[in-house]
């Protein structure tokens, strides 16, 4: 399909939207229909489960004053970004995919929500993980300054400021003349990925050296050990996010290189990659609860309270 044909076909899709549709018309076939159905089923299951998980994290942390620490507050910011994906992006994605499966037509409003706000939400997760990793760095390697300066309110302010900057930037980009350019999107995602990944690697290496040094010195300061464990948890969450995000990068490379037909890219490869990315909203709270004994105990108490 040449560029002129592509422009004509995309121009007829959802002409009333304030953005240009960059996809191509959906032509049902056995493979495309199977993949569309699979993505609907996977997201239909993971969406409510992720919503319940993240809401549960919010409830058990906020109901106990002892859990409202700087670390837990920063994790709640990450849970909020996951909630946006589970309650907002995934339902739009399901509506968009199910419309193609039922009648081979585009559900324009779900397409708009999925396309514009997915970009925003993924960026929020990147920004949040980068800032939390930075906060954890100071908790482990600058513990004195951390104890003096770090408070739940300040952590929230730092992350909220990052969100605000990202929101202004992402929506300015999306609604600009080149905002829907997938090449620009790929470049930006690559930059965000590289920065966050390099930051995570640096913290991981320093954390590993710190643990070895503490093992040699046989120190057992409780607060410092707790900070190291919390930092490890964030690194595990960040690693899981990159694993789920990797298919999107691969799909983008395949698309930009033109190795596969655009119909296959847009209606088979990208939906599968997006479904993998959405799993972060399901995985993140599970890792957090698994790594935090206090939250697990609070969940047990909350479950007993609701059953009584």
Instruction: Classify 19 as helix, strand or coil.
Output: coil
Within the chain, where are the H helices?
A: 3-11, 30-62, 70-84, 90-103, 108-141, 143-149, 152-174, 182-217, 222-257, 262-264, 270-278, 280-291, 293-307
Q: What is the pLDDT of residue 299?
A: 82
Q: What is the pLDDT of residue 2?
A: 36
CATH code, 195: 1.20.1070.10
The reported pTM is: 0.83
Q: Which two tokens stand for residue 197?
A: 């990944």
Burial label for 100, CB within 10 Å (0-12, 13-18, 19+), is: buried
Residues listed for the chain? 308
Q: Mean pLDDT of successive 10-residue segments in the chain (308 residues)? A: 39 69 80 93 95 92 86 91 94 92 83 85 88 84 82 92 89 67 61 72 73 59 71 85 88 83 89 94 92 84 66
| Residue 96 is assigned to a structural domain of this protein | yes
Q: What is the pLDDT of residue 4?
A: 37
| Residue 74 is assigned to a structural domain of this protein | yes
Residue 114 neighbours by CB under 8 Å, 6+ apart: 89, 92, 93, 96
Instruction: Classify 111 as helix, strand or coil.
Output: helix
Q: Which two tokens stand for residue 10?
A: 């995309």
Q: How many domains does the chain have?
A: 1
| Residue 67 is assigned to a structural domain of this protein | yes
| Residue 15 is assigned to a structural domain of this protein | no
Distances (CA, A) of 29 to 35, 184, 265: 10, 31, 14
Q: What is the pLDDT of residue 284?
A: 92
CB count within 10 Å of CB 227 equals: 22
Burial label for 293, CB within 10 Å (0-12, 13-18, 19+), is: exposed
| Residue 201 is assigned to a structural domain of this protein | yes
Provide the residue range defining the domain that includes 111: 29-295
Dihedral sign of CA atoms 30, 35, 40, 41 in order: positive
Nearest CA to 16 out of 108, 104, 96 is that of 108
Instruction: Report residue 34 CA to chain centroid gap.
Output: 26
Q: Which two tokens stand for residue 239?
A: 């690693």
| Cα–Cα distance for residue pair 26/107, rounded to 1 Å | 12
| Cα–Cα distance for residue pair 47/52, rounded to 1 Å | 9
Q: What is the pLDDT of residue 6?
A: 38
Q: Please report, in angstroms and rounded to a whole number, the separation of the first and last CA atoms in the chain.
A: 63
Q: What is the pLDDT of residue 10?
A: 47
The distance between the two most distant Cα atoms of the chain, rounded to a whole number of Å, is 69
| Cα–Cα distance for residue pair 140/142, rounded to 1 Å | 6
Q: What is the pLDDT of residue 7?
A: 38
| Residue 1 is assigned to a structural domain of this protein | no
Nearest CA to 270 out of 45, 9, 68, 24 is that of 24
| Residue 8 is assigned to a structural domain of this protein | no
| Residue 9 is assigned to a structural domain of this protein | no
| Cα–Cα distance for residue pair 220/141, rounded to 1 Å | 15
């Amino acid at each position: 399909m040449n560029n002129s044909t592509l422009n004509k076909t995309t121009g007829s899709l959802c002409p009333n939207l304030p953005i240009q549709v960059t996809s191509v018309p959906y032509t049902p076939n056995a493979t495309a229909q199977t993949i569309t159905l699979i993505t609907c089923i996977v997201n239909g299951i993971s969406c409510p489960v992720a919503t319940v998980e993240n809401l549960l994290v919010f409830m058990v942390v906020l109901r106990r004053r002892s859990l409202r620490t700087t670390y837990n507050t920063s994790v709640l910011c990450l849970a909020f970004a996951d909630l946006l994906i589970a309650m907002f992006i995934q339902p739009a994605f399901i509506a968009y995919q199910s419309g193609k499966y039922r009648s081979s037509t585009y559900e324009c409003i779900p397409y708009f929500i999925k396309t514009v706000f997915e970009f925003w939400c993924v960026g929020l997760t990147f920004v949040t993980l980068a800032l939390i990793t930075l906060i954890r760095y100071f908790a482990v390697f600058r513990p004195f300054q951390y104890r003096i300066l770090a408070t739940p309110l300040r952590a929230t302010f730092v992350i909220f400021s990052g969100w605000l900057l990202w929101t202004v930037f992402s929506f300015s980009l999306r609604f600009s003349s080149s905002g829907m350019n997938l090449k620009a999107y790929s470049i930006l995602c690559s930059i965000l990925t590289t920065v966050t990944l390099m930051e995570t690697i640096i913290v991981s290496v320093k954390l590993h050296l710190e643990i070895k040094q503490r093992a040699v010195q046989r120190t057992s300061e409780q607060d410092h050990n707790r900070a190291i464990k919390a930092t490890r948890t964030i690194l595990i969450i960040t690693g899981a996010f990159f694993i789920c995000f990797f298919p999107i990068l691969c799909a983008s490379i395949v698309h930009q290189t033109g190795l596969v037909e655009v119909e296959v890219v847009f209606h088979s490869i990208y939906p599968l990659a997006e479904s993998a990315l959405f799993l972060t909203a399901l995985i993140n709270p599970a890792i957090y609860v698994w790594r935090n004994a206090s939250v697990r105990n609070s969940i047990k108490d909350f479950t007993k309270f609701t059953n009584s």
